[in-house]
Structure 1
Amino acid sequence: MSSQLRVYVPPHPMIRHWLTIAREKHTPVPLFRTAMAEMGKWLTYEAVREFLPVQEVNIETPLGTTAGQLIDSAVPLAFVPILRAGLSMLEGCQTLLPTANVYHLGLVRNEETLEASCYLNRLPERFAPQTRIFIVEPMMATGGSIISTLKLITERGADASLIRIINALCAPPALQLINQHFPAVQIYSGCIDEVVNEQGWIVPGLGDAGDRSFGT
């Protein structure tokens, strides 16, 4: 039986609030960057649900003993932000998982062919077994960049079923491509817009997340 891509758009009021602020074209750079960081935080909060292994512990409270659970620190955690725009969400993601390793990946899209090429690769030679990986990619329109990223990561030993994508906004072409090549991956997105125009932009979208985050 073939698996099917799972895409979650959490009905969280904070995600909707900050996505709306990010969409508004008059939002100033500092506030836009705050919106992206907040979406990174809240989407990561949703993505870690039933994903991080825990260990049972017994502890002493001021009044007695009780059983509890801690996140298993022996299981590796990793963020892979896709530059530049991924950096805008990374800060928020890290507030929840501050001990996770960060492996930067720089991709640029050819505006004529819409194909992605890699200009910076700081991935490890091999990912440790059972590593939980969070790809931080604010925009997924045609899917070229995210497919290139998934290929690079899985070629280095990552288990696709242990990969989750933190995404502010996506569109059907990207989702269809991921479903075709990496159906075991799970996506946590702020919203799915229906249209990608001829220039490869999501409509209504929010523009260029990298440019709007860094004022360029």
Structure 2
Amino acid sequence: MTDLPHLTHVTHPLVQHKLSLMRRTNTPSNQFRQLLREISHLLAYEITRDLPLITERIETPLKPMDAPMLKGKKLALVSILRAGNGLLDGVLELIPSARVGFVGLYRDEETLQPVQYYCKLPDALDDRVVIAVDPMLATGNSSAAAVDLLKQAGAKDIRFLCLLAAPEGIARMKEAHPDVPIVTAAVDECLNDHGYIVPGLGDAGDRMFGTK
């Protein structure tokens, strides 16, 4: 795992192996989705490693003990549609009690700027750890816009989870939201002229759902 103050690059061998399988052009959609779900478990482990804990008195089969339990309100997971749902499903398996929200953004192919079409968020975001999920951090414009919406809704402790990141997207997020840490499985070379991550893996949403 390689860390910068705002960025955690998860270099675990299982993460990297599964990501390489996802990058392959001939990986079918069903396998792509399964690999994304598996990687999301491992990335979720990293992004939640410093969640606050309290102790609670419990009964074990042998004796009572003061056991560690998560502190505060249930986490909020926010999927940036549509590709974010691939990460969301896996993280929810690890944190099934989390509250779930959705932010719908699409990228204008001419300007590469985000256009909002949907937003539905859990309540009391100011009292929750909020994890925004989107497989691709490319230009960073959509991610920054999604975090803007979360902050407008009151969120204070926000983390961003992605599969791939481009240097341009990391820089954009650092500029717009330096208080939001990023956890990613890979930092790729750059963006091409169409705003796609290179070498990347193509359009994550299309590969998840078998669309063009």
User: 1:65 deviation in Å?
Assistant: 2.9
Letter in 1 for 2:74: P
2:160 is paired with a residue whose SS is strand
After TM superposition, the structure 1 stretch with the greater mean CA deviation from structure 2, 146-155 or 7-16, is 7-16
Alignment of 1:69 with 2:74, yes or no, is no
Aligned 8 A contact 2:76 2:125 in 1: no
Which of 179, 189, 192 is residue 187 of structure 2 equivalent to? 192
The equivalent residue for 1:181 is 176
Distance 1:40 1:128 in 2: 22
The equivalent residue for 1:27 is 27
The equivalent residue for 1:81 is 79
Aligned residues: 208
RMSD: 1.5
Alignment of 1:158 with 2:165, yes or no, is no
User: 1:38 deviation in Å?
Assistant: 1.4
Written as runs of structure 1 = structure 2, the 5 A alignment for 1:3-82 is 6-50=6-50, 52-72=51-71, 74-82=72-80
Aligned 8 A contact 2:9 2:186 in 1: yes
Letter in 2 for 1:94: L
User: 1:215 deviation in Å?
Assistant: 0.4
Distance 2:125 2:135 in 1: 26
Aligned 8 A contact 1:138 1:169 in 2: yes
User: 1:133 deviation in Å?
Assistant: 0.5
- Identity rate, percent: 39
- In structure 2, the gaps of 5 or more residues are none
Letter in 2 for 1:207: G
Question: Residues 44 and 170 from structure 1, CA distance in 2 versus in 1: closer, same or farther, beyond 3 angstroms?
Answer: same
Distance 2:99 2:63 in 1: 36
Distance 1:188 1:65 in 2: 37
The equivalent residue for 1:115 is 113
Q: Higher relative contact order by CA 8 Å / sep ≥ 6: 1 or 2?
A: 1
User: 1:195 deviation in Å?
Assistant: 1.1
Aligned 8 A contact 2:74 2:97 in 1: no
Aligned 8 A contact 2:125 2:153 in 1: no
Which of 124, 133, 149 is residue 136 of structure 1 equivalent to? 133
User: 1:128 deviation in Å?
Assistant: 3.6
Distance 1:45 1:63 in 2: 30
Letter in 1 for 2:150: I
User: 1:87 deviation in Å?
Assistant: 0.8
User: 1:5 deviation in Å?
Assistant: 5.1
1:103 is paired with a residue whose SS is strand
Post-superposition Cα deviations, 1:32-72, rounded to whole Å, max 9, x if no partner, equal: 0011111211111111001x222212333222233321113
User: 1:146 deviation in Å?
Assistant: 0.3
Distance 2:186 2:125 in 1: 32
The equivalent residue for 2:142 is 145
2:69 is paired with a residue whose SS is strand
- In structure 1, the gaps of 5 or more residues are none
2:115 is paired with a residue whose SS is strand
Distance 2:48 2:22 in 1: 23
Aligned 8 A contact 1:5 1:185 in 2: no
